């Protein structure tokens, strides 16, 4: 593990353990700490300038989320992928996002439509600049905006919690040639349905969009076998 890949915690908010948690979590979700990475408490303490207690608390939270495996008297490792977990996450994400986009298409206002339009335009600019990390962040924001615009305050957090394994796996799919452009095209179809206030078209567009996830992640089980759990 290269601990230098951790973000500094000085500019993060919350308690010390919360800030350590945020730094470690972001490194795991961004795949800077890939599955199987051994996490050494001492090295993290040294880099972040903290004691072992907040690191232990942060790792306990990450373990509860399924992002790390803590083996008593042995080691702590970033958890490996499971296709079963990924399929379940896709199923749950579809249920949430299809319901969300249908509602947004019905009740969106001009300000919300403008925010979604700006987001898609930014995606196009980032892909043109080959800034695929920035594109991925805007892609995630597009979906977060849809959840926020439902008017239900808790659904974004629910989506994030069910999508943790997908978030990591998608970082491996991200460099796939042509996929960002296809993603933007799919987002534009969703946006068009929202603009036209057509819930049926929005639902079908989102179903097609999210339906691309599992077929694209499935081959990773062979091409990146070291990242997946062995039966």
Average pLDDT, the chain: 92
**29 assigned to some structural domain:** yes
d(CA 51, CA 42): 9
C-alpha 173/C-alpha 219 separation (Å) is: 10
Together in a domain, 26 and 48: yes
Q: What is the CATH number of the domain that holds 8?
A: 1.10.10.10
Domain annotation covers residue 231? no
Alpha carbons 83 and 221: distance in angstroms, whole number: 8
pLDDT value, residue 231: 64
Q: Which of 69, 68, 64, 44 is nearest to 54 (CA)?
A: 44
Q: Are residues 199 and 125 in the same domain?
A: yes
Q: Is residue 145 part of a domain?
A: yes
12 in a domain, yes or no? yes
Residue 185, classified by CB atoms within 10 Å of its CB into exposed (0-12), middle (13-18) or buried (19+), is exposed
Are 133 and 54 members of one domain? no
103 & 210 share domain: yes
Q: Per-residue pLDDT tens for 159-214? A: 989 888 888 888 887 667 788 999 999 999 999 999 999 999 999 999 999 999 99
Strands (E), the chain: 38-39, 68-71, 75-78
Residue 122 lies in a domain: yes
The CATH number that applies at residue 163 is 1.20.120.530
Q: Is the same domain home to 209 and 144?
A: yes
Within this chain, do residues 34 and 101 fall inside the same structural domain, yes or no? no
Torsion of the alpha carbons at 79, 7, 64 and 168, rounded to the nearest 10: -40
Count of structural domains within the chain: 2
Per-residue pLDDT, 192? 98
State whether the Cα torsion 175-181-186-190 is positive or negative. Answer: positive
Which residue among 78, 106, 126 closes a domain? 78
Structural domain contains residue 178? yes
Question: How many angstroms separate the Cα of 77 from the Cα of each of 23, 148, 186, 207?
Answer: 16, 33, 36, 34
Boundary-marking domain end, from 60, 78, 96 = 78
For residue 99, the enclosing domain spans 83-225
pTM: 0.86
SS3 sequence of 94-138 = HHHHHHHHHHHHHHCCHHHHHHHHHHHHHHHHHHHCCCHHHHHHH
For residues 20 and 87, membership in a common domain is answered with no
Domain boundary among 48, 78, 108: 78
pLDDT at 1 over 50: no
Q: Render pLDDT for 73-108 as a digit per residue (tens, 0 to 9).
A: 888 999 999 999 999 999 999 999 999 999 999 999
Residue 161 lies in a domain: yes
147 and 38 part of one domain: no
Does one domain contain both 92 and 206? Answer: yes
User: How far apart are the C-alpha atoms of 39 and 31, rounded to whole Å?
Assistant: 14
pLDDT tens figures, 98-157:
999 999 999 999 999 999 999 999 999 999 999 988 998 999 999 999 999 999 999 999
Q: What is the pLDDT of residue 3?
A: 45
């Amino acid at each position: 593990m290269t601990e230098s890949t951790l973000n500094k915690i000085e500019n993060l908010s919350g308690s010390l353990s919360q800030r350590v948690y945020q730094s470690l979590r972001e490194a795991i979700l961004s795949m800077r700490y890939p599955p199987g990475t051994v996490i050494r408490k001492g090295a993290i303490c040294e880099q972040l300038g903290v004691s072992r207690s907040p690191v232990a608390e942060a790792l306990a939270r990450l373990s509860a989320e399924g992002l790390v495996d803590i083996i008593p008297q042995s080691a702590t490792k970033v958890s490996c992928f499971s296709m079963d977990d990924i399929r379940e996450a896709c199923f749950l994400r579809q249920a949430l996002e299809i319901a969300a986009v249908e509602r947004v298409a019905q009740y969106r206002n001009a300000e919300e439509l403008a925010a979604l339009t700006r987001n898609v335009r930014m995606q196009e600019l980032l892909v043109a600049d080959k800034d695929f990390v920035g594109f991925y962040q805007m892609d995630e924001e597009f979906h977060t905006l849809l959840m926020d615009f439902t008017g239900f305050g808790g659904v974004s957090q629910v989506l994030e919690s069910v999508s943790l394994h997908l978030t990591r796996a998608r970082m491996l799919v991200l460099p796939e040639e042509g996929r960002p452009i296809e993603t933007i095209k799919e987002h534009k179809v969703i946006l068009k349905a929202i603009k036209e206030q057509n819930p049926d078209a929005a639902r079908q567009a989102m179903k097609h969009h999210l339906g691309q996830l599992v077929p694209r992640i499935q081959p990773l089980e062979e091409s990146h076998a070291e990242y997946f759990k062995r039966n």
